Structure 1
Amino acid sequence: MGLNQYRPYLIKFQSLIALIILCIALSFLSDKFLTIDNGWNVMRQISVNICIAVGMTLVVLTSGIDLSVGSVLALCGAITAGLLKNGIEIPSSNLFIGFTLLGAIVAGILSGGLIGCFNGWTITRFKVPPFVATLAMLTIARGLTFLWTKGFPISVLGDNFAYIGTGWFLGIPVPVWISAIVIIAAVVITGKTPLGRYIYAIGGNENAAKLSGININKVKIIVYSFAGALAAIGGLIVTSRLDSAQPNAGNSYELDAIAAVVIGGTSLSGGRGSIWGTVLGAIIIGVLNNGLVLLNVSPFWQQVVKGFVILLAVIIDKANSKAE
């Protein structure tokens, strides 16, 4: 009886409990884990996943999924790098269009938003399952990335661009500031706006939401557009940090994003979850990745461990749903 009394609290704080246990275990296993430098390193690493996972959360809350975010990240990072370094040449018209840093960044983010918009339009207009539509975009965006870069990295992008991924502002890494802004914006949208209420309503019961007068298609297109734009922001951080747009960047990033969403308590069935939960899930994934590296665990085993963590999180989610 006593355990049942505390069950709701255990379910509510299960991610936080898991993070605390993980940190305690890693602090005993590695003396490098609980250091300031390693802490900032983890925060920089998870900033990209937070951007992607926040967009993924909005999608999953509507009972959807977006498997294309890793490829969109690579494509938008490459577009930004290409425009910044080479501009656009139109030899037939003897025309060259150069881009400032801000112009290239805006173009990259808009590209991500447009790709996400296309995903949403395909899903709503043709009733294609989100899994299939975004899986197709995963391949399309990756192919476009290789076409844009011709299979070679676009490097040496300048110190101003590098500042986005490697700089510090007020003693905090710039990527952490970017991810914080993304988090705050998403929290406001989901908790304080009609759009946020519509997102939860659609995920909870799409038919009821439709009968309530909510424009289901419009909301879904907006949500997928957000996911694409946030993946592009993640691409800017990755490209800036490496000072290079790699054609194969973002491989498997969608898996880390989905893991963060599920571990954070967002139901894959939609309608239940929070941005803060996803942030906590991203921190758990980041700490886990960092800990496995510090312990010199093989990259192959790291994939195995993360796969089991995702599976365990889904099992717990299903168990909690039945309990409710």
Structure 2
Amino acid sequence: MAEVAVTRPRLGFKVGRASGNAGVYVAFVILLIGLGFAAPRFFTFGNMTDVLRQAVPIAVIAFGATFVIGMRGIDLSVGSTLALTGLVTANVLVLGYPVPVACLAGLALGAFIGLVNGFLITKVGITDFIATMAIMVVSRGVVMVYTQGIPITGASDPAFRAIGQSYLAGIPVPVILTAIVFAAAYYLLYYTRFGRFVLSIGSNPDAARLVGIPTDRIKIAVYVLAGALSAFAGIMLTSRLESAMPEAGQGYELDVIAAVVIGGTGLSGGRATLFGTVVGAVLMAVVRNALNLLNVNTFWHQIVIGTIILVAVAADRFNRSRKA
């Protein structure tokens, strides 16, 4: 009987633990130097603190998006999830419940939204773009219907305010919390079987399935993680503002995708770098801050962000083609 040679499916993924697009770091340094000359106020301590605060929600959401995009997925619902979970957290506080209960309610809702996204994609068979876009619209609609466009105020519990407004050893607590989330995400992506499975699916979904990776369960878990991190960002933003804004998180999906792609995580999946995501998130915050300092009309902000995304995607495509 003739022997049959069995070839093990190839799972060629790259983790990129401390590297991204090398050009990004050069561009980032050049941008900082240029801003130092164009806007002298940029390097003041107060403005640097504002930049870090602006980067926090984008960075936290982008950590989850790094898993999603590294898995060759997309999640357009992150901004609406932030708004809806922030609304629920603030409303629970206003009703008189303790801060831990309010925060857990927001996190649970974010995880549930991620679960719905994952279920629609894996079990119903809707593409990730359409599924998450639908959830984005529905979530934003719920926020607007409930609030009628009016902010929910009264989330002024001292313990809750401390999440987004306090300092520890001179460092804003949101920045410290973001660092903790980064460390946890870093360990999960690079030192656990779950992280390897995520990148394996992004590299070659069919091969991952053939070698026994539970692709559907991993995908659902990734979207649950992304939803929970969006909720965490919403809680920190609500704490900082002491209110839930109906328009909170609008456009965040663009900033998040830009931060992840600029950082070096490929849209084609199988490659992820969380350190690059941090750089990308800070870069996006710096760009928005610079546009404000230079008094650029807000209508131009989205044009600039969109151009950055196009350049980042084009650079990623060029790098992959050159390596191929």
> How many Å separate the matches in 1 of 2:145 and 2:289?
33
* Residue 269 (1) aligns with residue 268 (2): yes
SS of equivalent to 1:237: helix
What is the match of residue 86 of structure 2? 77
What is the match of residue 133 of structure 1? 131
SS of equivalent to 2:76: coil
SS of equivalent to 1:32: helix
* Alignment equivalent of 1:110, drawn from 105, 108, 111: 108
Change (3 A) 1:51 1:323: same
What is the match of residue 207 of structure 1? 206
SS of equivalent to 1:249: coil
- Alpha-carbon deviation of 1:147? 3.5
Note the alpha carbon deviations across 1:195-239, whole angstroms, 9 max, x for none.
Answer: 000001000000111111000000000000010000001111111
What is the match of residue 56 of structure 1? 65
SS of equivalent to 2:40: coil
What is the match of residue 222 of structure 2? 223
Q: Taking every aligned residue pair, what percent have the same amino acid on both sides?
A: 45
Please give the residue correspondences for 1:1-324 in structure 2 after superposition, counting only pairs within 5 Å: 12-86=21-95, 99-158=97-156, 159-324=158-323
> How many Å separate the matches in 1 of 2:26 and 2:272?
17
Misfit runs of 4+, over 4 Å? none
**Any stretches of 5+ residues in structure 2 without a counterpart?**
1-18
> How many Å separate the matches in 2 of 1:148 and 1:271?
40
SS of equivalent to 1:139: helix
Change (3 A) 1:68 1:12: closer
> How many Å separate the matches in 2 of 1:198 and 1:282?
25
Q: How many residues align?
A: 304
What is the match of residue 6 of structure 1? none
State whether residues 78 and 148 of structure 1, in contact with CA within 8 Å, keep that contact through their aligned partners in structure 2.
no
What is the match of residue 10 of structure 2? none
Note the alpha carbon deviations across 1:253-312, whole angstroms, 9 max, x for none.
Answer: 111000101111111111112111111111111111111111111111122111111110
Note the alpha carbon deviations across 1:37-80, whole angstroms, 9 max, x for none.
Answer: 21111111100100111111110011000000000000000000
> How many Å separate the matches in 2 of 1:146 and 1:169?
35
State whether residues 61 and 272 of structure 1, in contact with CA within 8 Å, keep that contact through their aligned partners in structure 2.
yes
Change (3 A) 1:11 1:58: closer
State whether residues 61 and 266 of structure 1, in contact with CA within 8 Å, keep that contact through their aligned partners in structure 2.
yes
Aligned partner of 1:29: which letter? A
Note the alpha carbon deviations across 1:64-109, whole angstroms, 9 max, x for none.
Answer: 00000000000000000001112xxxxxxxxxxx521011001101
- Alpha-carbon deviation of 1:152? 2.4
State whether residues 254 and 305 of structure 2, in contact with CA within 8 Å, keep that contact through their aligned partners in structure 1.
no
State whether residues 20 and 273 of structure 2, in contact with CA within 8 Å, keep that contact through their aligned partners in structure 1.
no
- Alpha-carbon deviation of 1:240? 1.1
**Any stretches of 5+ residues in structure 1 without a counterpart?**
1-9, 87-97
> How many Å separate the matches in 1 of 2:231 and 2:163?
13
> How many Å separate the matches in 1 of 2:27 and 2:228?
30
> Cα RMSD between the aligned structures?
1.3
> How many Å separate the matches in 1 of 2:181 and 2:244?
22
State whether residues 54 and 183 of structure 1, in contact with CA within 8 Å, keep that contact through their aligned partners in structure 2.
yes
SS of equivalent to 1:33: helix
